[in-house]
């Protein structure tokens, strides 16, 4: 299993070869509360690092989800359309949002590892 990296906006990314699986962190889903809707990008869309990739809505708020790395959307988690609460149940597993074909693996160096993210969220 590959290492999970995190952004300051509370997205996570896990890389397998040249494919990045992306979602929101456990911390983020806890802050949002009950997720009621997820808007995902179309496959084939090109995303830039830290640009808006998706939208997640909860009973509390709507939030943008940003791409931790640049790349082309190769798959979306269509199951979230019918079961957005999966994000609350398993944010860093079955509740993933999109898979990207990574354009530049060097961008991963700009992200936090799990220990740095845990320290980052402890102060929030």
Is 124 a member of any domain?
Answer: no
Domain count, the chain: 1
In this model, does residue 1 exceed pLDDT 80? Answer: no
Work out the mean pLDDT of the chain and round it to a whole number.
Answer: 96
SS3 84: coil
Tell whether the model's pLDDT for residue 71 goes beyond 90.
yes
pLDDT score of 70: 98
Q: Is residue 123 part of a domain?
A: no
Whether residue 57 lies inside any domain: the answer is yes
Instruction: Extract the runs of DSSP E, i.e. beta strands, from 1-124.
Output: 4-6, 11-16, 19-24, 35-39, 46-47, 52-58, 62-66, 71-76, 98-102
Structural domain for 21, as ranges: 4-118
Residue 101 inside a domain? The answer is yes
Q: What is the mean pLDDT of residues 72-83?
A: 97
pLDDT in tens, 23-57: 999 999 999 999 999 999 999 999 999 999 999 99
Name the token pair of 11.
Answer: 């997205």
Q: Which CATH number characterizes residue 95's domain?
A: 2.40.50.100
The pLDDT value recorded for residue 2 is 67
């Amino acid at each position: 299993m590959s290492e999970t990296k995190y952004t300051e906006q509370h997205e996570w990314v896990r890389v397998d070869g040249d494919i990045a699986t992306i979602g929101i962190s456990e911390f983020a889903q806890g802050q949002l509360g009950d997720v009621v809707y997820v808007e995902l990008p179309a496959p084939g869309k090109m995303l830039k690092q830290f640009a808006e990739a998706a939208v997640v809505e909860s009973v509390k708020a709507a939030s943008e989800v940003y791409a931790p790395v640049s790349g082309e959307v190769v798959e979306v988690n269509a199951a979230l359309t019918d079961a957005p609460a999966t994000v609350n149940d398993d944010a860093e597993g079955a509740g993933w949002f999109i898979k990207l074909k990574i354009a530049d693996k060097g961008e991963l160096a700009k992200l936090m590892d799990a220990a740095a993210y845990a320290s980052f969220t402890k102060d929030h």
